[in-house]
Amino acid sequence: MEYKPSLPENNDNVSHDQPVREFVLLFFGITLFLLIVFWILGLFVDRAVNYITPEMEAAIFSSVGGSASESVDNSNPRQAGLQRMVDALRDCIQIGYPLKVHLIDLDDANAFAFPGGRIFIFNGLLDKVVSENGLSFVLAHELAHFKNRDHLRGMGRGIVFTAVSALLTGAGSDLTQLFAPTANFSQAQYSQERERMADEQALQVLGCYYGHAGGATEFFEAMKPDGDKNSNVFGHYFSSHPEAVERINNLHRLAGKMNLPVKKVLPLPAVLVSQE
């Protein structure tokens, strides 16, 4: 046998496809797949939420103190004043919850609905609103979240999405990071939709309680970024709340639709007026 050396013409051991093309295809394929999975799982979460009664919720979350430790004590007249407002507004929105207001001594202007029927209100919020109607709108918005059980939906989605991402991509790996925006996007879009719904219901509560829509946009006007300073172009899609300007316009539109006039607002109860 004679040895005839030669090199192969083609290298058949490697593929000659474009790796970038493969990357793009796989990345968008998986993103699409995850979006569909998250959407379906979100529907399951919604179903599960219907089975959780307020009593069950209170039992589950009674051990979770949240930031209650930072809240001012019950004898605080401001907290009592807020509690009175919430109790009064309840007549206009049917909620099967015992609700407890916690005033938190933080300067952020924020309020949120916490599982177990607790409304956390940050001190900073009281500096931003100037009228009773304005404050009522924010409280009514949180009441609407309780009515719609958005706190449970949001939390359930958070848990499920995180678990699924970790399961599919391996917890804490590079891939988890790569697909984190997909989960954030799914959750943010849903959250924004629920916020719009809560805004609409809060407006109805204002209409029922005061008979007009005055003060509804007050808080958002105060939170609106100054001038043309545009926030992050893409950040908007991943944010849990719609932008202040959009919410204001939306409220104006809804008030028009509901035939709610804008009348003079009531001043804040003296006890809630910011001391500074």
Partner 1 sequence: MEQLIIFGILISLGYFFGRHAEKKHYKSIQEREKHWLQLPTTCSKYVLEDDRIIDHCDLVNGSMVVSVDYFKRILARLRNFFGGNIQSYETLIDRARREAVLRLKESCPGADQVINLRLETSSITKGSGKQIGSVEVLAYGTAVYFCK
What is the smallest separation between the CB atom of 161 and partner 1, expressed in angstroms? 16
Q: Which of residues 175 and 258 has its CB atom nearest to partner 1 in the complex?
A: 175
Q: Which of residues 23 and 44 has its CB atom nearest to partner 1 in the complex?
A: 23
Q: Which of residues 20 and 40 has its CB atom nearest to partner 1 in the complex?
A: 20
Contact status, residue 245 vs residue 236, Cβ threshold 8 Å: no
What is the smallest separation between the CB atom of 238 and partner 1, expressed in angstroms? 7
Q: Which of residues 23 and 39 has its CB atom nearest to partner 1 in the complex?
A: 23
What is the smallest separation between the CB atom of 195 and partner 1, expressed in angstroms? 21
What is the smallest separation between the CB atom of 36 and partner 1, expressed in angstroms? 14
What is the smallest separation between the CB atom of 152 and partner 1, expressed in angstroms? 28
Q: Which of residues 29 and 65 has its CB atom nearest to partner 1 in the complex?
A: 29
Tokens of 195: 């916020």
The one-letter amino acid code at 80 reads A
Strands 118-122 and 111-114, bridge-based pairing: antiparallel
The one-letter amino acid code at 61 reads F
What is the smallest separation between the CB atom of 6 and partner 1, expressed in angstroms? 8
Q: State the chain's maximal CA–CA distance in angstroms.
A: 108
Residues that bind partner 1 (CB under 8 A): 1, 3, 5-7, 11, 13-15, 17, 19-20, 22-23, 26-27, 29-30, 33, 168, 173-175, 177-178, 180-181, 232, 234-235, 238
The one-letter amino acid code at 261 reads P
Measured over the CA atoms of residue 251, residue 257, residue 258 and residue 260, the dihedral's sign is positive
Contact status, residue 28 vs residue 80, Cβ threshold 8 Å: no
Q: Which of residues 11 and 75 has its CB atom nearest to partner 1 in the complex?
A: 11
Q: Which of residues 35 and 266 has its CB atom nearest to partner 1 in the complex?
A: 35
Within 10 angstroms of residue 221's Cβ, the number of other Cβ atoms is 15
What is the smallest separation between the CB atom of 262 and partner 1, expressed in angstroms? 38
The one-letter amino acid code at 13 reads N
**DSSP state at residue 7:** -
Burial of 203 (0-12, 13-18, 19+ CB in 10 A): buried
